[in-house]
C-alpha cells in the first residue's frame, strides 16, 4: 500500500485476483455489510501492488481509503502502530472526527498520532474507541482500512485485529489485511490467529499465488522494453518463479549484464538463514550443492549421519520456512533463488569438497541417482573419469527420455572432458562415435547448424591414418546433416569419397545409408536422372538388408523426383514410407516422408488432406518429445501454413505459436515468420518483427519466402513501396544464394504481390508516377514468367500466382491509361486468377482476387456479376478479420456484412477448445489457464455456440474436422 516509489510498470495480470478481492471487500456493491479480506502471499509476490490497485478502484467508487503498516522492528514494535498511522490519515481526511470520538472514548488518545498518551485504559476501552472511530468515519461514505504486513504486528495489534474482524467494523467499512506466508514459520504467533480469523463470518482468505510464467514474461518486457535476448528472458522467467520482486531484481541485474545474483538480492535472501542454528546452516550449504531439491536419503548420506541432530537441523530449517518437505522423502528450498544464493556464498574449497562428497555417495550405489546428477557433481569436483562415464550415460538417458537438447549438451561435455589432455590426446575411435551422437542429438533438438558444425570440425581434424570405416561414418554424417540446412551446399564429394572406399571397409548398412544420402544430394544438385538411379540402388540394397528406415528415405526421394508412374502410386509410396519409418523408430525418416507426403497433397491443391497429414506428423513428433527436430519443425510449419491458406487463421496462429515453448531460436524464427502472414493479412503492423527475422533469411529460404510475402504487403499497404521493393530485392538475393538461382517458384508469388501493390498505388498516383510504376513492373513480370517456366513442379498454386501476375499487370496498365487493355481482357485475366486460387484451395487469395475481379466487372458494366463477387469476398474477409481487404472492399462500396454467419473463435476460446480436446475438465482448464472456473464455463459456452455444437464432445469432433485443434506438447503449455 502506498509504496515508497510509485510503480514504474503497468499492472501485469492479476485480473481475476483483483476481481475476487474487490468482490470480497464489497467494492461496487452499495448495500454491503462490513467485510474483510486476508491477503496472504510470499514476500515480493505482489500483495502491496494488488492492494494499491484495489485502493484506487475503491476510491474511484467513492470510498475513503486509509492504510497502516506494520514494521519489522525485531519484536519491540509500538503497540497499535498501523492503527496509529491509519487514524492519522483519517484525521487528515475528516478533520474534527477524532476529537468527537475522543470525547466519548477517551481511550482513543492511547493510539492517536502525536498524542499517544500512556495511561491506565483497559485494552477493551482502546478497542472500542478505535472501532467507534472507524464506524463514524464510515457514516458518510464507505471506508476501506488496509493493514499491511501483519506478520510483523505486535500482540496488541493482532488482538485488535481479531476484535475488529469478529465484530466487523460497522456496516460500511471493510478491512484488508496482508501478511507474508513465507514468514509464517511453525511457531509464528500469527499462524494460529490467521487460521482463526479466516473462519469468521464475513472474512475471506485470499491466497496470492505466484504470477503465471506468461505474466512474468510480460512483466520483464514492461520493465525492459528494449528486449533482452530471448534466452535471458527465459532464464529470468524460470528463476523468478512468479515472484514480481525477484523478477524486477533479475531484470535489473541482466540490464547490468550480470548473470549471478546481485549482492543486494543475495543478502536479502541470505537473511532468512540468520536466525538458524549452525547445524541447520551447514545442512543448507550441503543441500545447495545438490540444487533446489534433494532426497532425504541423499542429503542424509552426504551431510548426515541420520539421528536426532540431523533431524533437528532439518526441522529448524523447515520451521523457519527455508525448506519445504516435498513428496514423502525430500526437501526443497522454498525458492530456487535462495538455493542459488546459498550456493554462491560457499567458499571455493568448500564447494569442491561437497561436490566430491556427492560423487562418493552417488557412486556408492547406496542411493537412487540419475547419471546427469553424478556427471554434474563429478565435473564440479574435477573428477574427470567419473564425469566422462556419467556424462555419456546421461546423454543416452536424455535421448531415451526425449530430451535431445540435454543429450547434446551431455555429449559435448564428454568431448570437452576428453579434450582436456590437449589436442589429439583422446582416442579417435572413442571420439568419432561421440561426435556423431552429439550431432544427432543436436539435430533432434532443432539445432541443425550446431549439429553440422560438430561433425564438420571433427572431419577437418581427422588424422590421415584413421580407420577408413570411421572416416566413412563421419563423411556420411556430414553429408546427411548438410542436407538438412538450407545454407549448406550438398556434400556430394563427401559421399562419393566414402563410397569409393573398399567394400570391406564400408559394410552393407552404412553403404545403403550412404547411397540414400547420395541420392538426395544428387537431387539437390538438380541432377534428377542420376539421382533416380542412385535412389533405386539404395532402395534395392535396403530391401535386401531389411533396413526399413533407409528404404523409406530412398522411396521418399524417388517420390519427390516424380519417378512413380501416377500420382496415386507416388502417394501410396509415401504413405508406406511414413509407416515403415515409424515402425522402424526413425523419426527423421518418418518426418521427412510425412513432410513430402503433405507437400505432394498441398501442391495438388488437396489442402484438407495435407492438413490431416501434417497434423498427424506434429502429433507424432510431440509424442516422442522431439517437436523441433529436423523435418518435424517443417511439418509443424506447414500445418500452420496450410491453415493460413485454408482461411483458418486463428488456428494457424495456434499452430505457429512459440510463446511458452522451448523452441530454439531458428525454429522460433521460422514459426514467427509464417505467423506474420496472418498478422499482416489482418492489418497488424509488426514493423519491428520483420527486421529481427530478416537476420535469419540467409539461413533459411522458406523463412525468407514467408517474411518477404508478408513484408511486401505490410510496407506496400502502409504506402512505403520503396521498403517493399527493398524487402523483395533482399529476399530474392538471399534465396538465390540458398536455392541456387533466381528462378525459384516463390518468385512468381513475390511478383504477384508486388505488382498488386504497384497497381493499388497507381490508383492513387499522378500520370508521371504511373509511368514509373509501369516501367518498374516490366522486369517483375518477366522474372515471374521466367521462374514459372523454370519451376520443376507446376502445382495449382504456382499456376494461380502466374495468373495473378498477369492480372495485376493488366490492372496496372489499365490504371496507367494503357488503351491497349480491353475491359473484357481484364475481366478474363482476373477470372483466371480467381479460378486458379480456388483450385489451389487458397481462401484468402481467392477472396483478394475476387475483389479485383469485381472491380473489373464493374468497369465492364457487368454490375450484377460484380456484386456477386463482392458478396463472396466480403464474407471471407470478415470471417478472417482481414482488415486491409475489408478496406479495399469498402472502397468499392461494399457494405459491411450482416452480423452473424460464420464466427471465428478468439485465441482464448481456441486455447480452451484445445484443452477440451485433451479431455480436460473445466477445473483443469481453469488451473492451466489461470482463469476462474466461471470464466472457463463462459468460454466453453461461447465455443459451443460458435461451433453450433450441442455439447463438449460434439464441439471437439467439429473442431477436429475443421482442424481447429493441433497437438501441442503437454509439457510445453
Ligand atoms: N502484477 C504486477 N504487475 C507489475 N508489477 C508488479 C506486480 N506485482 C508486483 N509488482 C511489482 O513487484 C514489486 C514487488 O511487489 P509488492 O507488491 O511490493 O510485493 P509484496 O507486497 O507482496 O511483497 C513491486 O515493485 C511491484 O510494483
Ligand atoms: Mg508489501
Provide the pLDDT for residue 116.
Answer: 61
Q: Is the CB of 210 under 6 A from ligand 1?
A: no
Provide the pLDDT for residue 609.
Answer: 95
Residue of the CA atom closest to atom 16 of ligand 1: 46
Whether the per-residue pLDDT at 6 is higher than 80: the answer is no
Helix axes 796-815, 767-790, angle to 10 degrees: 160
Whether the per-residue pLDDT at 592 is higher than 90: the answer is yes
Report the pLDDT averaged over residues 560-584.
92
- DSSP labels for 885-939? HHHHHHHTTPPPPPS-SS-PPPHHHHHHHHHHHTT--HHHHHHHHT--HHHHHHH
pLDDT in tens, 844-872: 999 999 999 999 999 999 999 999 999 99
Q: How far is the CA of 4 from the centre of ligand 2 (A)?
A: 11
Report the pLDDT averaged over residues 37-62.
92
Cα separation, 114 vs 534, whole angstroms: 97
Which tops the pLDDT comparison, 164 or 901?
164
Residue of the CA atom closest to atom 24 of ligand 1: 245
Cα separation, 475 vs 455, whole angstroms: 8
| Global confidence as pTM | 0.70
Provide the pLDDT for residue 118.
Answer: 62
Closest atom of ligand 1 relative to the 43 alpha carbon? 23
Q: How far is the CA of 245 from the centre of ligand 2 (A)?
A: 10
Q: Is the CB of 421 under 6 A from ligand 1?
A: no
Residue 406 near residue 371 (C-beta atoms within 8 A):
no
Q: Is the CB of 2 under 6 A from ligand 1?
A: no
pLDDT in tens, 99-156: 899 899 988 888 887 666 666 667 888 899 999 999 899 888 899 999 999 988 888 8
Which tops the pLDDT comparison, 416 or 497?
416
Residue of the CA atom closest to atom 7 of ligand 1: 46
Dihedral angle at the C-alpha atoms of 881, 884, 886, 889, nearest 10 degrees? -160
pLDDT band at 901 (very low <50, low <70, confident <90, very high): very low
Judging by DSSP bridges, how do beta strands 330-333 and 293-295 pair with one another? antiparallel
Whether the per-residue pLDDT at 753 is higher than 90: the answer is yes
Q: Which residues of 150-173 are buried (b: 16+ CB within 10 A; e: fewer)?
A: bbbbbebbbbbbbbbbeebbbebb
Q: How far is the CA of 9 from the centre of ligand 1 (A)?
A: 10
Provide the pLDDT for residue 953.
Answer: 77
Q: Is the CB of 17 under 6 A from ligand 1?
A: no
DSSP H/E element including 312: helix 308-319
Q: Is the CB of 243 under 6 A from ligand 1?
A: no
Judging by DSSP bridges, how do beta strands 35-41 and 203-207 pair with one another? parallel
Report the pLDDT averaged over residues 276-284.
92
Q: How far is the CA of 868 from the centre of ligand 1 (A)?
A: 57
Sign of CA dihedral 767, 770, 776, 782: negative
Whether the per-residue pLDDT at 958 is higher than 90: the answer is no
Residue 880 near residue 682 (C-beta atoms within 8 A):
yes
Q: Is the CB of 513 under 6 A from ligand 1?
A: no
pLDDT band at 812 (very low <50, low <70, confident <90, very high): very high
Provide the pLDDT for residue 360.
Answer: 94
Q: Is the CB of 9 under 6 A from ligand 1?
A: yes
Closest atom of ligand 1 relative to the 3 alpha carbon? 18
Provide the pLDDT for residue 106.
Answer: 87
Q: How far is the CA of 46 from the centre of ligand 2 (A)?
A: 7
For residue 42, give the ligand nearest its CA: 1
Dihedral angle at the C-alpha atoms of 643, 647, 651, 652, nearest 10 degrees? 50
Closest atom of ligand 1 relative to the 51 alpha carbon? 17
Report the pLDDT averaged over residues 934-962.
78
pLDDT in tens, 512-545: 999 999 999 998 888 899 999 999 999 999 999 9
Residue 38 near residue 240 (C-beta atoms within 8 A):
no
- DSSP labels for 432-462? HHHHHHHHHHHHHTT-HHHHHHHHHHHHHT-
pLDDT band at 934 (very low <50, low <70, confident <90, very high): confident
Report the pLDDT averaged over residues 714-734.
95
CA atoms lying within 13 Å on the CB side of residue 942? 17
Whether the per-residue pLDDT at 970 is higher than 50: the answer is no
Q: Is the CB of 11 under 6 A from ligand 1?
A: yes
Provide the pLDDT for residue 115.
Answer: 63
For residue 8, give the ligand nearest its CA: 1
pLDDT band at 2 (very low <50, low <70, confident <90, very high): very low
Residue of the CA atom closest to atom 8 of ligand 1: 46
Residue of the CA atom closest to atom 23 of ligand 1: 44
Closest atom of ligand 1 relative to the 45 alpha carbon? 22
pLDDT in tens, 436-476: 999 999 999 999 999 999 999 999 888 888 888 888 889 99
Provide the pLDDT for residue 31.
Answer: 59
Closest among 240, 255, 205, 323 to 44, alpha carbons compared: 240
* Ligand 1 mutation pick, 1, 18, 48, max ligand atoms within 8 A of CB: 48
Q: How far is the CA of 607 from the centre of ligand 2 (A)?
A: 55
Report the pLDDT averaged over residues 313-322.
88
Q: Is the CB of 41 under 6 A from ligand 1?
A: yes
Closest atom of ligand 1 relative to the 52 alpha carbon? 17
Report the pLDDT averaged over residues 392-398.
90
Report the pLDDT averaged over residues 46-54.
93
Q: Is the CB of 49 under 6 A from ligand 1?
A: yes
Whether the per-residue pLDDT at 171 is higher than 70: the answer is no
Report the pLDDT averaged over residues 827-842.
96
Cα separation, 83 vs 478, whole angstroms: 74
Task: Give Rg (Cα) of the chain.
Answer: 35
Closest atom of ligand 1 relative to the 149 alpha carbon? 21
Closest among 830, 798, 797 to 811, alpha carbons compared: 830
Cα separation, 517 vs 531, whole angstroms: 10
pLDDT in tens, 181-225: 887 877 788 988 999 999 888 889 999 999 999 999 999 988 887
Q: Which range among 33-42, 373-382, 749-758 has the greatest average pLDDT?
A: 749-758
pLDDT in tens, 243-275: 998 898 888 888 877 777 777 788 878 877 887
pLDDT band at 4 (very low <50, low <70, confident <90, very high): very low
* Ligand 1 mutation pick, 70, 245, 251, 335, max ligand atoms within 8 A of CB: 245
For residue 149, give the ligand nearest its CA: 2
Helix axes 843-859, 796-815, angle to 10 degrees: 30
Provide the pLDDT for residue 946.
Answer: 80
pLDDT in tens, 656-686: 998 778 888 899 999 999 999 999 999 999 9
Amino acid at each position: 500500500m502506498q509504496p515508497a516509489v510509485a510503480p514504474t510498470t503497468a499492472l501485469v495480470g492479476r485480473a481475476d485476483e483483483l476481481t475476487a478481492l474487490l468482490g470480497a471487500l464489497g467494492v461496487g456493491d452499495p448495500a454491503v455489510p462490513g467485510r474483510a479480506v486476508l491477503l496472504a502471499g510470499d514476500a515480493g509476490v505482489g500483495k502491496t501492488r494488488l492492494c494499491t490497485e484495489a485502493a484506487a478502484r475503491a476510491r474511484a467508487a467513492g470510498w475513503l481509503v486509509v492504510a497502516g503498516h506494520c514494521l519489522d522492528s525485531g519484536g519491540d514494535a509500538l503497540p497499535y502502530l498501523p492503527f496509529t498511522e491509519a487514524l492519522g490519515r483519517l484525521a487528515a481526511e475528516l478533520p474534527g472526527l477524532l476529537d468527537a470520538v475522543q470525547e466519548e472514548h477517551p481511550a482513543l488518545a492511547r493510539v492517536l498520532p502525536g498524542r499517544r498518551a500512556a495511561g491506565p485504559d483497559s485494552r477493551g476501552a482502546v478497542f472500542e474507541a478505535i472501532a467507534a472511530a472507524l464506524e463514524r468515519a464510515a457514516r458518510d461514505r464507505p471506508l476501506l482500512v488496509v493493514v499491511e504486513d501483519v506478520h510483523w504486528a505486535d500482540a496488541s495489534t493482532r488482538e485488535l485485529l481479531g476484535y475488529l474482524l469478529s465484530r466487523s467494523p460497522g456496516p460500511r467499512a471493510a478491512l484488508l489485511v496482508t501478511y507474508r506466508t513465507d514468514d509464517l514459520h511453525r511457531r509464528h504467533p500469527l499462524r494460529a490467529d490467521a487460521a482463526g480469523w479466516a473462519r469468521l463470518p464475513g472474512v475471506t482468505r485470499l491466497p496470492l499465488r505466484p504470477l503465471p510464467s506468461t505474466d512474468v514474461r510480460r512483466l520483464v518486457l514492461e520493465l525492459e522494453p528494449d528486449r533482452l535476448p530471448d534466452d535471458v528472458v527465459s532464464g529470468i522467467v524460470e528463476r523468478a518463479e512468479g515472484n514480481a520482486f525477484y523478477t524486477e531484481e533479475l531484470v535489473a541485474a541482466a540490464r547490468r549484464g550480470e548473470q549471478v545474483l546481485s549482492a543486494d538480492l543475495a543478502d536479502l535472501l541470505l537473511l532468512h538463514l540468520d536466525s538458524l542454528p549452525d547445524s541447520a546452516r551447514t545442512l543448507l550449504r550441503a543441500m545447495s550443492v545438490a540444487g533446489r531439491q534433494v532426497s532425504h536419503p541423499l542429503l542424509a548420506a552426504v551431510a548426515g549421519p541420520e539421528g536426532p541432530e540431523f533431524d533437528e537441523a532439518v526441522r529448524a530449517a523447515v520451521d523457519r520456512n527455508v525448506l519445504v518437505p516435498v513428496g514423502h522423502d525430500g526437501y526443497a528450498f522454498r525458492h530456487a533463488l535462495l538455493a542459488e544464493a546459498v550456493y554462491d556464498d560457499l567458499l571455493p574449497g568448500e564447494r569442491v569438497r561437497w561436490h566430491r562428497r556427492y560423487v562418493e555417495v552417488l557412486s556408492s550405489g547406496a542411493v537412487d541417482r540419475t547419471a546427469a546428477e553424478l556427471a554434474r557433481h563429478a565435473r564440479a569436483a574435477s573428477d574427470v573419469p567419473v564425469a566422462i562415464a556419467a556424462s555419456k550415460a546421461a546423454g543416452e538417458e536424455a535421448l531415451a527420455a526425449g530430451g535431445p537438447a540435454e543429450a547434446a549438451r551431455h555429449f559435448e561435455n564428454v568431448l570437452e572432458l576428453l579434450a582436456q589432455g590437449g589436442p589429439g590426446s583422446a582416442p579417435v575411435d572413442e571420439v568419432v562415435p561421440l561426435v556423431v551422437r552429439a550431432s544427432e542429438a543436436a539435430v533432434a533438438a532443432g539445432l541443425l547448424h550446431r549439429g553440422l558444425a560438430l561433425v564438420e570440425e571433427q572431419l577437418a581434424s581427422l588424422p590421415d591414418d584413421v580407420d577408413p570405416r570411421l572416416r566413412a561414418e563421419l563423411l556420411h554424417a556430414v553429408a546427411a546433416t548438410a542436407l538438412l540446412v538450407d545454407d549448406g551446399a550438398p556434400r556430394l564429394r563427401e559421399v562419393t569419397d566414402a563410397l569409393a572406399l573398399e567394400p570391406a571397409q564400408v559394410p552393407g548398412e552404412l553403404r545403403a545409408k550412404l547411397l540414400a544420402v547420395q541420392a538426395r544430394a544428387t537431387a539437390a544438385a538438380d541432377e534428377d536422372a542420376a539421382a533416380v538411379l542412385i535412389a533405386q540402388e539404395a532402395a534395392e540394397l535396403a530391401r535386401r538388408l531389411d533396413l526399413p528406415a533407409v528404404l523409406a528415405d530412398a522411396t521418399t526421394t524417388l517420390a519427390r523426383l516424380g519417378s512413380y508412374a501416377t500420382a496415386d502410386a507416388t502417394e501410396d509410396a509415401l504413405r508406406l514410407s511414413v509407416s515403415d519409418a515409424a515402425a522402424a523408430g526413425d523419426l527423421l525418416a518418418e518426418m521427412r516422408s510425412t513432410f513430402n507426403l503433405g507437400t505432394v497433397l498441398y501442391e495438388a491443391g488437396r489442402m484438407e488432406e495435407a492438413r490431416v497429414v501434417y497434423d498427424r506428423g506434429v502429433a507424432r513428433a510431440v509424442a516422442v518429445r522431439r517437436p523441433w527436430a529436423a523435418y518435424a519443425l517443417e511439418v509443424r510449419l506447414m500445418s500452420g501454413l496450410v491453415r493460413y491458406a485454408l482461411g483458418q487463421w486463428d488456428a494457424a496462429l495456434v499452430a505457429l505459436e512459440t510463446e511458452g515453448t522451448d523452441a530454439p531460436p531458428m525454429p522460433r524464427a521460422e514459426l514467427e515468420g509464417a505467423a506474420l502472414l496472418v498478422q499482416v493479412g489482418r492489418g497488424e503492423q509488426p514493423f519491428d518483427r520483420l527486421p529481427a527475422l530478416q537476420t535469419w533469411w540467409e539461413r533459411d529460404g522458406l523463412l525468407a519466402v514467408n517474411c518477404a510475402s508478408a513484408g511486401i504487403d505490410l510496407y506496400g499497404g502502409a504506402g512505403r513501396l520503396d521498403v517493399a521493393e527493398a524487402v523483395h530485392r533482399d529476399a530474392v538475393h538471399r534465396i538465390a544464394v540458398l536455392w541456387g538461382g533466381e528462378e525459384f517458384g516463390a518468385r512468381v508469388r513475390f511478383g504477384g504481390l508486388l505488382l498488386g501493390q504497384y497497381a493499388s498505388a497507381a490508383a492513387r498516383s499522378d500520370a508521371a508516377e504511373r509511368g514509373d510504376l509501369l516501367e518498374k513492373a516490366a522486369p517483375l513480370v518477366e522474372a515471374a514468367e521466367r521462374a514459372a517456366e523454370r519451376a520443376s513442379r507446376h502445382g495449382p498454386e504456382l499456376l494461380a500466382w502466374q495468373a495473378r501476375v498477369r492480372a495485376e499487370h493488366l490492372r496496372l496498365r489499365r490504371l496507367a491509361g494503357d488503351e491497349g487493355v480491353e475491359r473484357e481482357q481484364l475481366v478474363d485475366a482476373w477470372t483466371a486468377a480467381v479460378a486458379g486460387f480456388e483450385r489451389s484451395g487458397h481462401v484468402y487469395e481467392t477472396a483478394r482476387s475476387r475483389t479485383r475481379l469485381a472491380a473489373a466487372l464493374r468497369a465492364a458494366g457487368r454490375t450484377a456479376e460484380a456484386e456477386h463477387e463482392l458478396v463472396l469476398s466480403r464474407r471471407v474477409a470478415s470471417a478472417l478479420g482481414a482488415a486491409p481487404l475489408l478496406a479495399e472492399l469498402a472502397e468499392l462500396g461494399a457494405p459491411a456484412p450482416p452480423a452473424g454467419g460464420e464466427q471465428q473463435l478468439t485465441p482464448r476460446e481456441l486455447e480452451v477448445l484445445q484443452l477440451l480436446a485433451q479431455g480436460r475438465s473445466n477445473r483443469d482448464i481453469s488451473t492451466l489457464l489461470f482463469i476462474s472456473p466461471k470464466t472457463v464455463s463462459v468460454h466453453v459456452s461461447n465455443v459451443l455456440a460458435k461451433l453450433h455444437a450441442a455439447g463438449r464432445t460434439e464441439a471437439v469432433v467439429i473442431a477436429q474436422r475443421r482442424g481447429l485443434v493441433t497437438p501441442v506438447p503437454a509439457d510445453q503449455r
